[in-house]
Structure 1
Amino acid sequence: MTIRNWFKFAFRALIIGGVVTGLMSIIVRWGDFYAQHFSNGEWGEAFGGLLWFVFLGFTMSMICQMGYFAYLTVHQIGVNICRSLTLWNWIQILLIIVAVIDVILFRFKPYAHSANDWLLYIGLLVVLIIAASLTAIKKVKMTGKKHILISSLFFMIFVSVIEWLIALWVRSSGGNEYITILLFPIIAVNAFQLLELPKYNAKSAEDIKKREERRKARSEQEDQNTKVKKTQEENQNNKKTKRK
């Protein structure tokens, strides 16, 4: 990927993370934060809170981008070690199951003190799995390669859970709100990266091809100019010789 296209890709992912986090903060924390400031005419505090969540979304987007490129490396290493895509897919399925069980037993259960807590946690996990499944299916349709379904699910579920741990570890006041808010930018940014990266790679290949064509044309033009200049010099030399 060229630097220009990588910058466009990273910038779009950054914006998606910031916008989604900002919108989710308004939805989740409207009653206990935004509504109070708006009713009291404290517009600066409300805007400052929104801006803080947007920058939090930028941070999550950067984490997701690092996670995606780390996943690409791990995926290639896993395929090479297993020497079989089928075996690597089974390992990924096992890791997905382990990640889901870990979240339920060690991240949700110790802090689920009521039925509402369980309803929230399981609901968010279902949202993650459904979003991951839809993204993976779309990826298969875009590429026409059925074997990437498991890899796509692995990235969207396992890697997203790893990135989600940042919020799952927050168990102070407002912990559930952060768990809810930060899940959605993770899903949005990861889905964008999984679906859109091939387009930027193709655009980079096209840009490189055009660059090589321009370089070749420039080289040919320089050769032509050199030949013309050489011919002119030879003609001038011939004229001088005839005069003598």
Structure 2
Amino acid sequence: MNSRKVVFIFWSTLLLGSISGGIVGVLTNLDRYLGDGAENFLIGLVWMLGISAAFTLVSQMGFFAYLFIHRFGLGLSRSHKLWNRIQWILIAFVFFDLVYFRYIAFGENNSFWGYFIIPTALFLYAVIIATIKARETNKGAFVPALFFMFVITTIEWIPAIVADDPNWLILYLTPLLVGNTYQLLLLHRLHKKT
């Protein structure tokens, strides 16, 4: 991988994440941005693009951090099987935490089962992306891709989870998912060109 490809990943991910988050951010607050004319709409759009760009940068930092963590984990465990088992344990732990700790923090008057929706949806999305990654590369890529898409995305998403505001949850998650998915599925394609 040369520096040109790293720069390409950086800018293309930043562009896709910013646009996706900007669109979702404007659509979720459309009444606020359309209410006071075109100038208000443009300022709101620029604001949403800027915030989404910041969230996309978090996605990129998480991706490169995971590349390091994955290699480090493989080096420590000296076995793909052991490292995969460790990742499965961490996936289960994060799923439990995402349900239980959100319920403890915010679920006073809500049903416990309602807190399964977001982790389950995120997990199913991660399974779909990991399956695509495994089909395009090899079967051994499934667990690392699943771990990245579920655990690392959840870690990157913590500031919005703590706020517990539905608008922030969606606005923050959109560029994270777009950025993480794009980077994960692009990396092996760039390696093939080398």
CA displacement, residues 57-99 of structure 1 (integer Å, 9 cap, x when unaligned): 1111111111111111111111111111111111100101111
SS at match of 1:147: helix
Q: Residue 116 of structure 1: CA displacement?
A: 8.8
Q: Structure 1 CA distance, aligned partners of 2:169 and 2:162?
A: 9
Aligned partner of residue 75 in structure 2, secondary structure: helix
Q: Does 1:167 align with 2:157?
A: no
CA distance 1:180–1:114, change in 2 (3 Å): farther
Identity of aligned residues (%): 28
Give the direction of change, closer, same or farther, for the CA distance of 1:87–1:157 in structure 2 (3 Å limit): same
The match for 1:138 is: 132
The one-letter code matched in structure 1 to 2:170 is: T
Change (3 A) 1:59 1:190: same
Q: How many residue pairs get matched? A: 194
Q: How large is the RMSD of aligned CA atoms in angstroms?
A: 2.0
TM-score normalised according to structure 2 size: 0.90
2:186 pairs with one of 158, 179, 196: 196
Q: 1:60 to 1:194 in 2, by over 3 A?
A: same
The list of structure 1 runs, each at least 4 consecutive aligned residues, that deviate by more than 4 angstroms after superposition, is 113-119
**Could you tell me which residue of structure 1 aligns to residue 58 of structure 2?**
63
| Structure 2 residue runs without a partner (length 5+) | none
- Which residue type is aligned with residue 72 of structure 1? L
Report the CA distance between 1:43 and its aligned residue.
Answer: 2.1
**Structure 1 regions of 5+ residues with no counterpart?**
206-244
Stretch deviating more after TM superposition (47-56 or 83-92): 47-56
Cα 1:50–1:138 change in 2 (3 A) is same
Select the residue among 119, 123, 130 that pairs with 1:129. Answer: 123
Relative to the length of structure 1, the TM-score reads 0.73
Does residue 90 (structure 1) correspond to residue 85 (structure 2)? The answer is yes
